[in-house]
Amino acid sequence: MPQRKRYLFVCVNRRPDGTPKGSCAQRGSVELHAALKDALKDRGLAKTEVRACTSSCLDVCWAGPVVAVEPDGYFYGRVTTEDVPAIVEALAADTRVERLVLPSNDFDEKTAGPALPTEGGQP
């Protein structure tokens, strides 16, 4: 397999239920990773252009599910499976989905925007 142009690192870290911080897996990132893999394959990008990988905690849990896009060096945050078509089309077009790109304030829990709910409905 050739080196891909981009690698997506989808955090699939899961903390125990009830942990105040929550985790990306509790907000649907395992399903998100699977959906990205399928969509990249369907779009013909998986073998040559973009590989969707899993990752452990990327330390922006409050903005999860998060996806680090490398080597571009930006993060998507609060991503749901509904965002997958837009992400894949943007990758195909060499652009990005600006509404999902985490701004600098989201990298600090104190200044971050609101979290998505977890599986149990907790933020």
Binding site for ligand FES (CB under 6 A): 11, 13, 23-24, 57-61, 64, 66
Query: Closest CB to ligand FES among 40 and 63?
Result: 63
Locus of tokens 């998986």: 46
Query: Closest CB to ligand FES among 19 and 48?
Result: 19
Query: Closest CB to ligand FES among 60 and 91?
Result: 60
Query: Closest CB to ligand FES among 13 and 35?
Result: 13
Q: Which of 10, 13, 21, 19 is nearest to 79 (CA)?
A: 10
State yes or no: cis peptide before 71, omega within 30 of 0. yes
Between CA 50 and CA 94 the distance in angstroms is 11
Tell me the pairing of strands 67-70 and 6-11.
antiparallel
Question: Measured from the CB of residue 8, what is the shortest distance to ligand FES in angstroms?
Answer: 14
Euclidean distance between the first and final Cα of the chain, in Å?
A: 40
Question: Measured from the CB of residue 118, what is the shortest distance to ligand FES in angstroms?
Answer: 11
Question: Measured from the CB of residue 11, what is the shortest distance to ligand FES in angstroms?
Answer: 3
